[in-house]
Chains A and B, each alone.
Chain A
Amino acid sequence: MAISTSTRPRRRAGDAGGDAVAQATWGLFAAAVLAAVAALPAAPRLALLPLAVVFGWTQIGGV
């Protein structure tokens, strides 16, 4: 019988899915910051809109 000697903690089934969600979150954040920086000189109010999208996205699973 093969016995595992690995000392690494086993990843839970949801971790791979969690990694994909986390990567999408960071990607959305990076895009939002770029959009906010682009909008800031001309229209500071518009700079908040992409950040508002990030606030909404990160409520994911909150209902």
Chain B
Amino acid sequence: VKVAHDVRKWIAAATAYTVTGAAASGAVGALLGWAGERLGRWPAAGMAAWGGAALAALLAARELGWLPFPLPQRRRQAEKIWYQQFGAVTAAALWGLHIGVGFHTRVRFSGFWLLAVLAVLGRDPLAGAALLVSYWLGRALSLWAAPRLLSLSGAGVEYLQAVESSARAQRRTHALALAVAAVALGCATVR
């Protein structure tokens, strides 16, 4: 009974985290798109896509270690004390809100900044929200996948230990995804 209760609590907490994070990410993406709308007609759509492609290529080079430079970010982490103060579900909802904003916490790799810039250049609040909500869903997916991945590994280890062990693959995949984004943005300019 205790295990079933804990599973229900875990699902409630993961759902709260996912939903509040999506709301925060969507709001930030919409705000960036709205800010882009205020820019007016500059830069032109083709120029914006080329700029996005160039930025994606630059960031891919960074993640491959060819062009190291620091990312603008706040080196903060989610407040762990909320768990003691508010309990698992409310704390998870607050963590979702906090982390979902994106600019409040540590940014490990640079793809977030590409999406933030593209949300502005897209000049469309809905498109900006879609970009950052997609990003958030990827972040939340890593939480939902944790029990399955740990049972597949059969190692019985802590999830964060497993994640740390895969850091190199994460960075390479991130770099490749940035390179694909550069090509996609480049293709968008020649349509």
Is B174 within 8 A of A55, CB to CB?
Answer: yes
Is B180 within 8 A of A33, CB to CB?
Answer: yes
State the interface size on chain A (CB cutoff 8 A). 39
Q: Which of B165, B174, B180 contacts A15 (CB under 8 A)?
A: B165
- Looking across the interface, which residue of chain A has its beta carbon closest to that of B99? A63
Main secondary structure of the interface of A (DSSP, over half): helix
CA distance A32 to B78 in the complex (A): 28
Given the interface pairs A25-B169, A53-B134, the reply to whether A14 lies near B177 with Cβ below 8 Å is: no
Is A20 within 8 A of B149, CB to CB?
Answer: yes
Main secondary structure of the interface of B (DSSP, over half): helix
Contact with A along B148-188 (1 / 0, CB 8 A): 01101111011111111111011101101110110011011
CA distance A29 to B141 in the complex (A): 13
Is A57 within 8 A of B165, CB to CB?
Answer: no
Among the listed stretches B6-14, B84-92, B106-114, which one makes contact with chain A, having 4 or more residues with CB under 8 Å of it? B106-114
- Chain B residues with Cβ under 8 A from A33's Cβ? 180
Q: Which of A25, A53, A58 contacts B109 (CB under 8 A)?
A: A58
Is A56 within 8 A of B188, CB to CB?
Answer: no
Is B177 within 8 A of A59, CB to CB?
Answer: no
Q: How large is the interface on B (under 10, 10 to 19, 20 to 34, 35 or more residues)?
A: 35 or more
**B138 in the interface (beta carbon within 8 A):** yes
- Chain A residues with Cβ under 8 A from B184's Cβ? 36, 40, 44, 47-48, 51
Is A20 within 8 A of B169, CB to CB?
Answer: no
Is B155 within 8 A of A14, CB to CB?
Answer: yes
**Interface of A toward B, CB cutoff 8 Å:** 12-22, 24-26, 28-29, 32-33, 36, 40, 44-45, 47-63
**14 A-B Cβ contacts within 8 A?**
A17-B161, A18-B166, A40-B184, A45-B188, A49-B131, A51-B184, A52-B132, A52-B138, A54-B138, A55-B115, A55-B135, A56-B111, A63-B105, A63-B106
Extra 10 A-B pairs, beta carbons < 8 Å, given A44-B191, A55-B115, A63-B78: A13-B161, A19-B165, A19-B166, A20-B153, A21-B165, A55-B178, A59-B108, A60-B142, A61-B160, A63-B95
**Interface of B toward A, CB cutoff 8 Å:** 77-78, 95, 99, 105-109, 111-112, 114-115, 118, 122, 127, 130-132, 134-142, 145, 149-150, 152-155, 157-167, 169-171, 173-174, 176-178, 180-181, 184-185, 187-188, 191
